[in-house]
Amino acid sequence: MASTPVLDARQLSKTVPAPEGTLTLLDDIDLTLNPGDSMAITGPSGSGKSTLLGLLAGLDVPSGGEVRLRGEPFSRLDEDGRAALRGRYCGFVFQAFHLVSDLNAVENVMLPLEITGADRARARARHWLERVGLAHRERHFPGQLSGGEQQRVALARAFALEPDLLFADEPTGSLDRANGEQVASLLFDLNRDHGTALVLVTHDPALAAHCAHHHELVEGRLSV
């Protein structure tokens, strides 16, 4: 029997009102992602990559179609319902790292664990910091870390809950080459070791090539 897809999007569309009428950002998007699978979404600036990521992650609601997360009607839930499901199944890595500046490294990693009420949050966070090579930096605040270190903390945070699905939005976009390669290698190692499905939005064809599937977004439509 085929397993339930982690993520399933059907006829997804997004329109916004504009002075000259309705503007279509995304149109008729279908995609499916199974456990452990990886998918890269590329496309030129303004093609709607981040909008699509927002819809898939339940950070925004579609104008048409539906997103199902682990078989649940994700896009039909209210804000709090989507947040709860996202917390349970999803991890995130952003181009701008988005660490909470008032929390130190270990507290940032603890954040998703605490939000979902996971036990042994601190011990697990320390374990993940160790995995990304930053055990010695656990009490440092984001402002005291380099860009590469911040992104490694963000990776530890993303994997701390051992999510079924990881969304990565240009994860190496703000890093120099050496740090970018280190973070990318860590991302795919963790993805492989933990069987986490991955949705990767990137400009970088080399990074996209690491993924099993590759879609390009052009004028709001996906092409394989």
Residue closest to 42 by CA, chosen among 204, 180, 166, 188: 204
Tell me if 84 contacts another protein by CB under 8 A.
yes
Residue closest to 39 by CA, chosen among 195, 210, 162, 180: 210
**Residue among 63, 141, 188, 221 that touches another protein (CB under 8 A):** 141
CB nearer another protein, residue 83 or residue 135: 83
**Residue among 25, 35, 59, 140 that touches another protein (CB under 8 A):** 59
State the CB neighbour count (10 A cutoff) for residue 152.
26
Query: Closest approach of Cβ 210 to another protein, in Å?
Result: 24
Q: Which helix (H) or strand (E) holds 179?
A: helix 177-194
CB nearer another protein, residue 57 or residue 197: 57
**Residue 109 corresponds to which tokens in the numbers above?**
């990693």
Tell me if 147 contacts another protein by CB under 8 A.
no
How would you classify residue 207: left for phi > 0, otherwise alpha for psi between -120 and 50, otherwise beta? alpha
Tell me if 159 contacts another protein by CB under 8 A.
no
Q: Which residues bind another protein (CB under 8 A)?
A: 50-51, 53-54, 57, 59-60, 79-80, 83-88, 90, 92, 94, 96, 98, 100-103, 107, 110-112, 114-116, 141, 157
